[in-house]
Amino acid sequence: MNPEKELTSSLETYMTETLLAPETGIASVDRFSEAPPGRRPQELLPGAESVIVFVLPVLRANLNLKRIMEQLQVFPDRVEAKPFGPGIGEWQRQTSSEVHNPRQHYYSHFYGRTCYETQNAEEERIAYQTALWLERKGYEALILSVASGATFFPPPSPPTYGSIFSFRHAAVAAGLGELGMNNIFMTAERGPRVRLGAVITTAPLQADPVTKENLCLGESCMVCVKECPAQAFGPPFNLYDLTIAGKTMRLARVDKAKCTNRTVICSGECHNLCPIGKTEKTSG
Protein backbone atom coordinates (compact mmCIF):
# COMPACT_ATOMS: atom_id res chain seq x y z
CA MET A 1 0.00 0.00 0.00
CA ASN A 2 1.41 3.40 -0.97
CA PRO A 3 1.84 6.04 1.79
CA GLU A 4 -1.04 8.23 0.53
CA LYS A 5 -3.47 5.34 0.44
CA GLU A 6 -2.30 4.04 3.82
CA LEU A 7 -2.73 7.46 5.48
CA THR A 8 -6.18 7.84 3.94
CA SER A 9 -7.27 4.40 5.11
CA SER A 10 -6.03 5.06 8.66
CA LEU A 11 -7.81 8.42 8.78
CA GLU A 12 -11.12 7.02 7.53
CA THR A 13 -10.94 4.15 10.03
CA TYR A 14 -10.28 6.60 12.87
CA MET A 15 -13.14 8.89 11.84
CA THR A 16 -15.73 6.14 11.33
CA GLU A 17 -14.80 3.70 14.09
CA THR A 18 -13.45 5.97 16.84
CA LEU A 19 -15.20 9.28 16.19
CA LEU A 20 -18.36 7.59 14.80
CA ALA A 21 -18.58 9.86 11.75
CA PRO A 22 -21.46 8.31 9.74
CA GLU A 23 -20.07 9.03 6.25
CA THR A 24 -16.89 10.69 5.00
CA GLY A 25 -15.49 11.89 1.69
CA ILE A 26 -12.23 13.47 0.53
CA ALA A 27 -11.57 16.06 -2.18
CA SER A 28 -8.24 17.26 -3.53
CA VAL A 29 -7.79 21.04 -3.53
CA ASP A 30 -7.57 21.21 -7.32
CA ARG A 31 -11.33 20.51 -7.40
CA PHE A 32 -11.89 24.00 -5.93
CA SER A 33 -10.19 25.89 -8.76
CA GLU A 34 -13.50 27.51 -9.75
CA ALA A 35 -14.35 28.63 -6.20
CA PRO A 36 -14.53 32.42 -5.61
CA PRO A 37 -11.21 34.07 -4.70
CA GLY A 38 -10.60 34.00 -0.95
CA ARG A 39 -12.68 30.86 -0.46
CA ARG A 40 -10.31 28.24 -1.85
CA PRO A 41 -8.81 25.72 0.63
CA GLN A 42 -5.18 26.59 -0.13
CA GLU A 43 -5.92 30.29 0.47
CA LEU A 44 -7.37 29.57 3.92
CA LEU A 45 -4.60 27.10 4.78
CA PRO A 46 -1.37 27.62 2.80
CA GLY A 47 -0.04 24.30 1.57
CA ALA A 48 -3.44 22.59 1.81
CA GLU A 49 -3.76 19.47 -0.31
CA SER A 50 -7.03 17.87 0.79
CA VAL A 51 -10.48 18.64 2.17
CA ILE A 52 -12.19 16.07 4.38
CA VAL A 53 -15.99 16.30 4.49
CA PHE A 54 -18.39 14.30 6.63
CA VAL A 55 -22.17 13.96 6.74
CA LEU A 56 -24.35 14.08 9.87
CA PRO A 57 -27.96 12.89 9.50
CA VAL A 58 -30.99 14.86 10.68
CA LEU A 59 -33.49 12.49 12.24
CA ARG A 60 -36.62 12.09 10.11
CA ALA A 61 -38.82 11.81 13.19
CA ASN A 62 -37.71 15.24 14.40
CA LEU A 63 -38.53 16.80 11.03
CA ASN A 64 -41.95 15.14 11.21
CA LEU A 65 -42.61 16.59 14.67
CA LYS A 66 -44.22 19.73 13.23
CA ARG A 67 -46.88 17.66 11.46
CA ILE A 68 -47.43 15.54 14.58
CA MET A 69 -47.85 18.60 16.79
CA GLU A 70 -50.37 20.06 14.38
CA GLN A 71 -52.38 16.82 14.51
CA LEU A 72 -52.24 16.43 18.29
CA GLN A 73 -53.09 20.10 18.93
CA VAL A 74 -51.55 19.97 22.40
CA PHE A 75 -50.75 23.66 21.99
CA PRO A 76 -53.12 26.20 20.42
CA ASP A 77 -52.04 27.91 17.21
CA ARG A 78 -53.22 31.33 18.35
CA VAL A 79 -53.09 33.05 21.74
CA GLU A 80 -53.73 36.73 22.36
CA ALA A 81 -51.73 37.91 25.33
CA LYS A 82 -51.29 41.34 26.88
CA PRO A 83 -47.64 42.28 27.38
CA PHE A 84 -46.30 42.72 30.86
CA GLY A 85 -43.00 43.42 32.53
CA PRO A 86 -40.89 46.21 34.07
CA GLY A 87 -41.57 49.65 32.68
CA ILE A 88 -44.97 48.82 31.17
CA GLY A 89 -47.72 50.99 32.59
CA GLU A 90 -51.26 49.91 33.41
CA TRP A 91 -52.65 51.81 30.41
CA GLN A 92 -50.39 49.80 28.10
CA ARG A 93 -51.58 46.54 29.63
CA GLN A 94 -55.14 47.52 28.93
CA THR A 95 -54.73 48.88 25.40
CA SER A 96 -52.13 46.70 23.71
CA SER A 97 -51.87 42.99 23.00
CA GLU A 98 -49.85 40.54 20.95
CA VAL A 99 -50.89 37.43 19.07
CA HIS A 100 -48.64 34.41 19.59
CA ASN A 101 -48.53 30.97 17.99
CA PRO A 102 -47.40 28.66 20.83
CA ARG A 103 -47.43 25.62 18.56
CA GLN A 104 -44.98 27.25 16.12
CA HIS A 105 -42.89 28.64 18.99
CA TYR A 106 -42.38 25.25 20.61
CA TYR A 107 -41.72 23.43 17.35
CA SER A 108 -39.20 26.08 16.22
CA HIS A 109 -37.38 25.56 19.51
CA PHE A 110 -37.34 21.76 19.07
CA TYR A 111 -36.31 22.08 15.43
CA GLY A 112 -33.48 24.49 16.20
CA ARG A 113 -32.09 22.33 18.99
CA THR A 114 -32.49 18.83 17.52
CA CYS A 115 -32.07 19.51 13.79
CA TYR A 116 -29.31 22.13 14.00
CA GLU A 117 -27.55 22.54 17.33
CA THR A 118 -27.23 18.82 18.05
CA GLN A 119 -25.53 18.25 14.70
CA ASN A 120 -23.43 21.40 15.07
CA ALA A 121 -22.00 20.21 18.37
CA GLU A 122 -21.25 16.80 16.88
CA GLU A 123 -19.69 18.42 13.80
CA GLU A 124 -17.32 20.47 15.95
CA ARG A 125 -16.32 17.42 17.99
CA ILE A 126 -15.54 15.26 14.96
CA ALA A 127 -13.74 18.07 13.10
CA TYR A 128 -11.62 19.01 16.12
CA GLN A 129 -10.58 15.45 16.92
CA THR A 130 -9.82 14.79 13.24
CA ALA A 131 -7.62 17.90 13.12
CA LEU A 132 -5.75 16.80 16.27
CA TRP A 133 -5.18 13.35 14.74
CA LEU A 134 -3.70 14.96 11.62
CA GLU A 135 -1.48 17.27 13.68
CA ARG A 136 -0.10 14.27 15.57
CA LYS A 137 0.80 12.81 12.16
CA GLY A 138 2.75 15.99 11.36
CA TYR A 139 0.21 17.81 9.14
CA GLU A 140 -1.59 21.12 9.50
CA ALA A 141 -5.38 21.04 9.76
CA LEU A 142 -7.93 23.86 9.74
CA ILE A 143 -11.48 23.55 11.05
CA LEU A 144 -14.19 26.10 10.31
CA SER A 145 -17.40 26.69 12.22
CA VAL A 146 -20.81 26.21 10.64
CA ALA A 147 -22.26 29.34 9.04
CA SER A 148 -25.37 29.34 11.22
CA GLY A 149 -27.04 27.41 13.97
CA ALA A 150 -24.52 27.74 16.82
CA THR A 151 -27.15 29.88 18.48
CA PHE A 152 -29.55 29.20 15.60
CA PHE A 153 -28.69 32.57 14.05
CA PRO A 154 -26.12 33.45 11.36
CA PRO A 155 -23.25 35.88 12.02
CA PRO A 156 -24.36 39.55 12.10
CA SER A 157 -23.46 40.39 8.51
CA PRO A 158 -25.33 40.98 5.23
CA PRO A 159 -26.58 37.66 3.80
CA THR A 160 -24.83 38.32 0.48
CA TYR A 161 -21.43 37.82 2.14
CA GLY A 162 -22.03 34.19 3.03
CA SER A 163 -19.41 31.97 4.65
CA ILE A 164 -15.67 31.98 3.93
CA PHE A 165 -15.88 28.31 2.93
CA SER A 166 -18.81 26.33 1.55
CA PHE A 167 -19.35 22.95 3.17
CA ARG A 168 -22.05 22.20 0.57
CA HIS A 169 -19.77 22.72 -2.39
CA ALA A 170 -16.98 20.80 -0.64
CA ALA A 171 -19.33 17.85 -0.07
CA VAL A 172 -20.07 17.69 -3.80
CA ALA A 173 -16.34 17.84 -4.59
CA ALA A 174 -15.75 15.04 -2.07
CA GLY A 175 -18.18 12.71 -3.85
CA LEU A 176 -20.82 12.60 -1.11
CA GLY A 177 -23.78 13.79 -3.20
CA GLU A 178 -25.03 16.87 -5.03
CA LEU A 179 -26.92 20.14 -4.65
CA GLY A 180 -30.66 20.00 -5.13
CA MET A 181 -32.79 22.52 -6.99
CA ASN A 182 -32.94 24.73 -3.87
CA ASN A 183 -29.12 24.77 -3.53
CA ILE A 184 -29.20 22.48 -0.47
CA PHE A 185 -26.85 19.51 -0.39
CA MET A 186 -28.39 16.03 -0.56
CA THR A 187 -27.25 12.41 -0.40
CA ALA A 188 -28.79 9.36 -2.04
CA GLU A 189 -29.61 7.79 1.33
CA ARG A 190 -31.10 10.75 3.19
CA GLY A 191 -31.82 13.43 0.61
CA PRO A 192 -31.35 16.93 2.05
CA ARG A 193 -31.89 15.76 5.65
CA VAL A 194 -28.22 16.11 6.59
CA ARG A 195 -25.73 18.60 8.04
CA LEU A 196 -22.07 18.83 7.08
CA GLY A 197 -18.63 19.27 8.57
CA ALA A 198 -15.24 19.80 6.95
CA VAL A 199 -11.52 19.86 7.70
CA ILE A 200 -8.90 21.43 5.41
CA THR A 201 -5.47 19.82 5.71
CA THR A 202 -1.99 19.73 4.25
CA ALA A 203 -2.10 15.91 4.36
CA PRO A 204 -1.85 14.26 0.90
CA LEU A 205 -4.96 12.10 0.93
CA GLN A 206 -6.54 9.93 -1.74
CA ALA A 207 -9.58 11.73 -3.17
CA ASP A 208 -12.93 10.01 -3.61
CA PRO A 209 -14.59 10.06 -7.04
CA VAL A 210 -17.24 12.71 -7.62
CA THR A 211 -20.65 11.04 -7.77
CA LYS A 212 -22.04 10.76 -11.29
CA GLU A 213 -25.53 9.78 -10.18
CA ASN A 214 -28.27 12.42 -10.56
CA LEU A 215 -30.26 12.58 -7.32
CA CYS A 216 -32.48 15.66 -7.62
CA LEU A 217 -35.60 15.22 -9.77
CA GLY A 218 -35.07 18.74 -11.11
CA GLU A 219 -37.75 20.54 -13.08
CA SER A 220 -40.11 17.56 -12.94
CA CYS A 221 -40.47 18.13 -9.18
CA MET A 222 -39.38 21.56 -7.84
CA VAL A 223 -41.46 21.08 -4.68
CA CYS A 224 -38.65 22.57 -2.57
CA VAL A 225 -38.65 25.90 -4.41
CA LYS A 226 -42.40 26.10 -5.05
CA GLU A 227 -43.32 25.47 -1.40
CA CYS A 228 -40.62 27.68 0.18
CA PRO A 229 -42.44 29.63 2.96
CA ALA A 230 -40.21 32.67 2.36
CA GLN A 231 -40.66 32.50 -1.45
CA ALA A 232 -36.90 32.89 -1.64
CA PHE A 233 -36.78 31.38 -5.16
CA GLY A 234 -39.70 33.14 -6.81
CA PRO A 235 -41.90 32.84 -8.78
CA PRO A 236 -40.68 33.47 -11.36
CA PHE A 237 -37.94 30.83 -11.00
CA ASN A 238 -34.52 31.73 -12.35
CA LEU A 239 -32.76 28.44 -13.18
CA TYR A 240 -29.06 28.10 -13.94
CA ASP A 241 -26.34 25.45 -14.17
CA LEU A 242 -23.54 25.11 -11.63
CA THR A 243 -20.51 22.87 -12.21
CA ILE A 244 -18.36 21.61 -9.33
CA ALA A 245 -15.40 19.31 -10.03
CA GLY A 246 -16.89 18.33 -13.38
CA LYS A 247 -20.39 17.65 -12.03
CA THR A 248 -23.10 19.97 -13.44
CA MET A 249 -26.29 20.59 -11.45
CA ARG A 250 -29.45 22.54 -12.34
CA LEU A 251 -30.34 25.01 -9.57
CA ALA A 252 -32.81 27.79 -8.83
CA ARG A 253 -31.31 31.16 -7.94
CA VAL A 254 -32.06 32.08 -4.32
CA ASP A 255 -32.78 35.48 -2.81
CA LYS A 256 -30.53 35.21 0.26
CA ALA A 257 -32.16 38.16 2.01
CA LYS A 258 -35.54 36.41 1.87
CA CYS A 259 -33.99 33.08 2.86
CA THR A 260 -32.48 34.55 6.04
CA ASN A 261 -35.55 36.65 6.87
CA ARG A 262 -36.28 35.61 10.45
CA THR A 263 -39.88 36.80 10.31
CA VAL A 264 -40.60 33.76 8.12
CA ILE A 265 -39.98 30.53 10.04
CA CYS A 266 -39.57 27.66 7.59
CA SER A 267 -38.54 24.96 10.10
CA GLY A 268 -37.00 22.81 7.39
CA GLU A 269 -40.08 22.61 5.18
CA CYS A 270 -38.04 21.86 2.04
CA HIS A 271 -36.14 19.12 3.87
CA ASN A 272 -39.40 17.48 4.84
CA LEU A 273 -41.04 17.76 1.43
CA CYS A 274 -38.15 16.46 -0.67
CA PRO A 275 -38.92 12.91 -1.90
CA ILE A 276 -35.24 11.92 -2.22
CA GLY A 277 -33.98 9.64 0.53
CA LYS A 278 -37.34 9.11 2.19
CA THR A 279 -38.08 5.62 3.44
CA GLU A 280 -41.31 4.09 4.61
CA LYS A 281 -41.57 2.68 8.11
CA THR A 282 -41.30 -1.10 8.09
CA SER A 283 -41.93 -3.66 10.77
CA GLY A 284 -39.44 -6.39 11.48
Domain that holds residue 139: 3-273
Rg value, the chain, Cα: 21
For residues 30 and 10, give the distance between their C-alpha atoms in angstroms, rounded to a whole number. Answer: 23
Is 112 a member of any domain?
A: yes
Pick the closest to residue 203 from 119, 283, 134 (CA basis). 134
Is 280 a member of any domain?
A: no
Is 150 a member of any domain?
A: yes
Pick the closest to residue 203 from 276, 268, 280, 141 (CA basis). 141
Q: Per residue in 193-219, is it b (16+ CB within 10 Å) or e — as a string?
A: bbbbbbbbbbbebbbbebbeeebbeee
pTM: 0.85
- Which residues make Cβ contacts (< 8 Å) with residue 163, sequence separation at least 6? 144, 147
- For residues 134 and 11, the answer to whether their CB atoms sit within 8 Å is yes
For residues 267 and 64, give the distance between their C-alpha atoms in angstroms, rounded to a whole number. Answer: 10
Q: Tell how strand 247-252 and strand 50-57 pair up.
A: unpaired
In the prediction, which pLDDT does 123 show? 94
Phi and psi, residue 43, nearest 5°? -80, -35
In the prediction, which pLDDT does 128 show? 97
In the prediction, which pLDDT does 267 show? 73
For residues 12 and 238, give the distance between their C-alpha atoms in angstroms, rounded to a whole number. Answer: 39
Is 232 a member of any domain?
A: yes
Which tens digit of pLDDT belongs to each residue from 20-72?
999 999 999 999 999 988 889 999 999 999 999 999 999 888 888 877 877 77
Pick the closest to residue 277 from 63, 53, 126 (CA basis). 63
Is 279 a member of any domain?
A: no
Per the structure, the count of domains in the chain is 1
Residues of the chain with pLDDT under 70: 1, 81-98, 147-162, 262-265, 279-284
For residues 26 and 11, give the distance between their C-alpha atoms in angstroms, rounded to a whole number. Answer: 11
Q: Could you check whether the bond before residue 235 is cis, i.e. omega within 30 degrees of 0?
A: yes
In the prediction, which pLDDT does 78 show? 76
- Which residues make Cβ contacts (< 8 Å) with residue 280, sequence separation at least 6? none
Is 50 a member of any domain?
A: yes
- For residues 121 and 146, the answer to whether their CB atoms sit within 8 Å is no
In the prediction, which pLDDT does 92 show? 45
Q: Which parts of the chain fold into alpha helices (H)?
A: 3-13, 41-44, 60-63, 65-72, 90-95, 102-112, 118-136, 167-173, 223-226, 256-259, 269-273
Is 284 a member of any domain?
A: no
In the prediction, which pLDDT does 281 show? 45
Is 85 a member of any domain?
A: yes
In the prediction, which pLDDT does 264 show? 67
